[in-house]
């Protein structure tokens, strides 16, 4: 079985989104929106209002060994119902 949610994405832009109730996660590339919704609702005990997904394309980078390819990955923007919060994103 694949692990749906890989990690939360915590950046300055995503922190500003979390104030509006939108949280961003890195998810498995073949995960569907209903699978992501079920994983978030059961894992964090919250009610999900909507999900948007984006596949970040691969890129070529130079390193000391020459060119290397950075893998493709998928992220999910999860909008929670009003009044819901995920404590994982609430500061360090």
DSSP for 16-34, written as a single string: HHHTTTEEEEEE-TT--HH
Looking at residue 32, the DSSP 8-state letter turns out to be -
In a domain, 72, yes or no: yes
* Number of domain units in the chain: 1
25, part of any domain = yes
- Residue 47 domain flag: yes
Does residue 5 have a pLDDT over 90? Answer: yes
Would 90 be classed as within a structural domain? no
Which candidate, 1, 13, 3, 14, places its Cα nearest to that of 86?
Answer: 14
pLDDT, one tens digit per residue, over 19-42 is: 899 999 999 999 999 999 999 999
Answer for the pair 77, 54: CB distance below 8 angstroms, yes or no: yes
pTM for the full model? 0.83
72 C-beta neighbours (distance < 10 Å), count: 11
89 part of a folded domain: no
| pLDDT bucket at 1, cuts 50 / 70 / 90 | very low
Could you tell me if residue 92 is inside a domain? no
Q: What's the CATH number where 53 sits?
A: 3.30.70.330
pLDDT in tens, 37-83: 999 999 999 999 999 999 998 888 888 888 888 888 999 999 999 99
Q: Which domain holds residue 28?
A: 5-83
Structural domain includes residue 91: no
């Amino acid at each position: 079985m694949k692990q749906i949610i890989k990690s939360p994405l915590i950046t300055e832009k995503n922190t500003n989104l979390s104030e509006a109730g939108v949280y961003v996660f890195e998810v498995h590339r073949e995960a569907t929106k209903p699978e992501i919704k079920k994983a978030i609702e059961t894992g964090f005990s919250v009610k999900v209002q909507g999900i948007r997904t984006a596949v970040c394309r691969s890129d070529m980078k130079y390193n000391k060994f020459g060119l290397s390819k950075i893998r493709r990955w998928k992220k999910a923007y999860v909008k929670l119902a009003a009044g819901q919060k995920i404590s994982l994103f609430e500061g360090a």
